[in-house]
Amino acid sequence: MKLTSSSFSEGQNIPGEFAFCIPDLAHHVCLGENLNPQLVWCDVPAGTQSFVIICHDPDVPSKGDDVNQEDRSVPASLPRVDFFHWVLFDLPADLREIKQGEFSSDVTPRGKPGPAAAHGARQGINDYTGWFDGDNDMRGDYYGYDGPCPPWNDEIVHHYIFTVFALDIERLPLDGKASGPQVRDALRGHILGQASLSGLYTLNPVVIGAG
C-alpha cells in the first residue's frame, strides 16, 4: 500500500491550518483551523473489506511537570509516550481518499460529536478527551480528528504519524466510545496491509528558529 497527501509531504512540516494550536507571540499559542489533512491511498490488498485510519504522536512527554511552564523546558531526554489524535474506522472498501477538512474544520470546545461519521464510518475518541478532563470549559468526549498542539516549551519536534490499515473485516467489534489503544488492539489478526505518512510540528519558537 501507499499513502500520500496534498496537505504535506513525508518528513516535512505540517502546515498550521492542520493544527489544533499555532504559535502566538503574545500568548505562546492560539487556536488553529484544525482541518484534517487530505489523505489518498492506493495499491490496496485483494480481499480488503474496510479501512482504519489512525494518527498518533509518539513524542508526548511521559511527565507533565514542565509542560507549558514559564522559564522551564521539556527536556529532549524525557521518555515519550503515544498520544492519539484520530481514530477512524469501518471506512468502506471502495474508498481511496479523505478530503481536506472533511472530518474536521475547526476546534470544537467539549469535542465534536460521534461515533457516527461520513461514509458510514465510525470515529473513536482522541486523547484530548483525557487532556481536557480537568478543564470546565473544554472537558468532553473528543471524537474524530484534532490536530497537533505539542508543548510550546518542548525541546524536540514532534512526529505525527498517519497510518491507513486495510482489514479483512467490514466492521471492528467495538461499541460506544473507542479509544486509540482499543482500536489498535482490535486490528490485530485482521490487517492485510498498511501504509504510513509522517509529518513534523512544533510550537517552540526556539526550535522553530533553529530549523
Work out the pLDDT band at 207, boundaries 50, 70, 90. Answer: confident
What pLDDT, on a 0 to 100 scale, did the predictor assign at position 156? 96
The phi, psi pair for 45, rounded to 5°, reads -65, 145
Q: Kindly report the three-state secondary structure assignment for every residue of 143-158.
A: ECCCCCCCCCCECCCE
pLDDT tens by residue, 168-198: 999 999 998 999 999 999 999 999 999 999 9
Matching CATH number, 2-210, of 3.40.50.300, 3.90.280.10, 3.40.50.720, 3.50.50.60: 3.90.280.10
Higher-confidence residue of 211 and 198: namely 198
* Residues 102, 156 contacting (CB under 8 angstroms): no
Q: pLDDT value at position 64? A: 87
In this predicted model, what pLDDT tens digit does every residue of 103-130 receive, in sequence order? 999 999 999 999 999 999 999 999 999 9
**Residue 110: which region, alpha, beta or left (left: phi > 0; alpha: psi -120 to 50)?**
left
**Which one, of 119, 144, 132, lies nearest residue 51 by Cα?**
119
pTM for this entry? 0.95
Residues 128-161 pLDDT 10s: 999 999 999 999 999 999 999 999 999 999 999 9
Check residue 104 and give its pLDDT. Answer: 97
Q: Is a pLDDT exceeding 90 seen at residue 208?
A: no
**Does residue 46 sit in helix, strand or coil?**
coil
State the average pLDDT over residues 29-38.
Answer: 97
pLDDT band at 167 (very low <50, low <70, confident <90, very high): very high
State the DSSP H helix or E strand holding residue 185, giving kind and residue range, or none if neither.
helix 180-187
Instruction: Using the predicted structure, report yes or no on whether residue 209 has a pLDDT greater than 70.
Output: no
Examine the pLDDT at 210 and tell me if it is beyond 60. Answer: no
Radius of gyration of the chain (CA): 17
Q: How far apart are CA 118 and CA 104, in angstroms?
A: 11
